[in-house]
Amino acid sequence: MTTTRRSFLIASGLTALASTRVFGANDRLRLGVIGAGERVKGLLHAADNAGAYEIVAVSDVYGPRRDAIKDRSNGLATTHLDYREVLAKDIDAVIIASPDHWHVAMAVDALKAGKDVYLEKPVTHTLEEGAVLTRAVRSSKQVLQCGMQQRSWTHFRDAVDLIQAGSLGRVVQVRTYWWQNYQRDWPKTPIDPQALDWKLWLGSAPDQPYTEEKFFHWRWFWNFGGGAMTDLFTHWIDVAHWAMKADQPHQAQMLADKYVFDAWDCPDTIQAAFRYPGFDVFYEGMMSSSIDDGGLEFRGTDATLKITRSGFTVYREDVPRDQNPVLSAKSYRDGTIDHVANFFECIKSRKEPNAPVETGVAAARAGHIGNLANKRGGQVTWPLKA
């Protein structure tokens, strides 16, 4: 095969070098932070490497987290309990990294206030919220970037190019997986309940007593999150939607249970299958074993592409095993940096971001459909029949 500049860049993972833009001092953006937990730390670290910005205001229901962001801003950011006070500030955009059940309400209010939005995934907490969020974005003039950072990650973009160019032949099966271990004793700073407004944290959720388990592991309780299907699978199904140019399954099956974490609402061990037009997607994972982490496999008639956040490899069917893989690529850097950079660029250019609202809604919808199948005895067809 003749080596071209494009094939060399794909193989070496260097395309980001040609496309990364450096922001000047005069391009400093004014940001508000809504939800100041662990995820926002990673987003702000990415922002530090993505462009010039300043944090103008921060809101969170837990005082120490508000103070931590203020410290990060060198004392310049104002702190607020109510996120609407952040939206009243003179800011260009907000980063929303709250628990899932707050996502749509906060994003819609931000759009109405004329702010651009970086909204963490999953962008919705329920199936019904998808239309609400999409309508809010498309009836506004604002930019909304969904937190599906693979859309800006160099080797994911190159892998999708290969798949869509037909390099794998006909792809009829996509395998996705993600294993994590919540049994590990991760160090956590003890929570001071006196500094937490639990009622406000609950928001639209039913009133219930405070527990540290819910505060730290809210993703695994139906009132606040959707378990692995919306926390983890959402990322991978978005890549499958993107590569395969299809974003809505018509059938889902799910086998899941709580084998380890009895305190949770959501299952900790899952095997799921989704049927799309012309191909199937599978997901498997558990929350008490993390040896293989997460990734995807696109199985085609001519070749198979295996991809993780570290890179990808391509194995051809017509090549002896000892000569495979025929192509490998390493991750250039954390794609969150380029994803935030893309958001910053779109704030200025007003162009469509790499992960527009429809992509985030579709990815979350697939996870919701999987959860619905589990709740309905293991299987569901989509759209639901009246």
Query: In this structure, what CATH number is given to the domain that contains residue 254?
Result: 3.30.360.10
Residue 228 shares a structural domain with residue 127? no
From 24-28, 35-39, 93-97, 168-172, the region with the lowest mean pLDDT? 24-28
Find out whether the peptide bond into 383 is cis, omega within 30 degrees of 0. Answer: yes
Residue 317 shares a structural domain with residue 369? yes
Residue 64 shares a structural domain with residue 125? yes
| Residue 80 contacts residue 86 (beta carbons within 8 Å) | yes
Residue 165 shares a structural domain with residue 258? yes
First to last CA, the chain: 54
Residue 138 shares a structural domain with residue 265? no
**Residue 277 lies inside a defined structural domain of this protein:** yes
CA distances from 350 to 141, 145, 353 (A): 9, 12, 9
Helix, strand, coil share (%) of the chain residues, nearest 5: 40, 25, 40
| Whether residue 18 has pLDDT greater than 90 | no
Of all residues in the chain, the percent with pLDDT exceeding 70 is 92
| Whether residue 9 has pLDDT greater than 90 | no
Q: What value does the mean pLDDT take over residues 85-108? A: 98
**Residue 346 lies inside a defined structural domain of this protein:** no
Q: What value does the mean pLDDT take over residues 307-317? A: 98
| Domain finish residue from 94, 120, 150 | 150
Cα–Cα nearest to 100, from 224, 258, 281: 224
Q: What value does the mean pLDDT take over residues 87-111? A: 98
**Residue 347 lies inside a defined structural domain of this protein:** no
CATH of the domain at 54: 3.40.50.720
Domain encompassing residue 109: 5-150
Q: What value does the mean pLDDT take over residues 168-192? A: 91
| Domain finish residue from 95, 125, 150 | 150
| Residue 292 contacts residue 177 (beta carbons within 8 Å) | yes
**Residue 386 lies inside a defined structural domain of this protein:** no
pLDDT at 17: 32
Q: What value does the mean pLDDT take over residues 146-150? A: 98
Give residue-wise pLDDT tens across range 152-163: 999 999 999 999
Place of tokens 């628990």: 99
Letter string b/e over residues 202-230, b meaning 16 or more CB atoms within 10 A of that residue's CB? beebeeeeeeeebbebbbbbebbbbbbbb
Residue 274 shares a structural domain with residue 142? no
**Residue 345 lies inside a defined structural domain of this protein:** no
Residue 129 shares a structural domain with residue 184? no
What pLDDT band is residue 386 in, cutting at 50, 70 and 90? Answer: low
Letter string b/e over residues 94-133, b meaning 16 or more CB atoms within 10 A of that residue's CB? bbbbbbbbbbbbbbbbbbebebbbbbbbbbbbebebbebb
Residue 361 shares a structural domain with residue 227? yes
| Whether residue 105 has pLDDT greater than 80 | yes
Cα–Cα nearest to 122, from 144, 147, 102: 147
Residue 308 shares a structural domain with residue 196? yes
Place of tokens 């494009």: 6
What's 75's DSSP letter? T
d(CA 282, CA 320): 27
Cα–Cα nearest to 200, from 76, 354, 63: 63
Give residue-wise pLDDT tens across range 118-134: 999 999 999 999 999 99
User: Does residue 8 or residue 216 have the better pLDDT?
Assistant: 216
What pLDDT band is residue 4 in, cutting at 50, 70 and 90? Answer: very low
| Whether residue 301 has pLDDT greater than 90 | yes
Residue 145 shares a structural domain with residue 197? no
Residue 287 shares a structural domain with residue 301? yes
Q: What value does the mean pLDDT take over residues 21-25? A: 42
Domain count, the chain: 2
pLDDT at 381: 97
Q: What value does the mean pLDDT take over residues 212-222? A: 96
**CB neighbourhood size of 160 (10 A):** 21
**Residue 351 lies inside a defined structural domain of this protein:** no
**Residue 99 lies inside a defined structural domain of this protein:** yes
Rg (CA), the chain: 21
Of all residues in the chain, the percent with pLDDT exceeding 90 is 90
User: Does residue 250 or residue 15 have the better pLDDT?
Assistant: 250
What pLDDT band is residue 114 in, cutting at 50, 70 and 90? Answer: very high
| Residue 206 contacts residue 227 (beta carbons within 8 Å) | no
pLDDT at 184: 83
| Whether residue 2 has pLDDT greater than 80 | no
pLDDT at 188: 78
**Residue 92 lies inside a defined structural domain of this protein:** yes
Question: What's the burial of 248, exposed, middle or buried (CB within 10 Å: 0-12/13-18/19+)?
Answer: middle
- Tell me the two tokens of residue 277: 């037009």
pLDDT at 26: 58
Q: How many helices (H) and strands (E) does the chain have?
A: 14, 15
| Domain finish residue from 107, 134, 150 | 150
pLDDT at 332: 87
Residue 184 shares a structural domain with residue 130? no
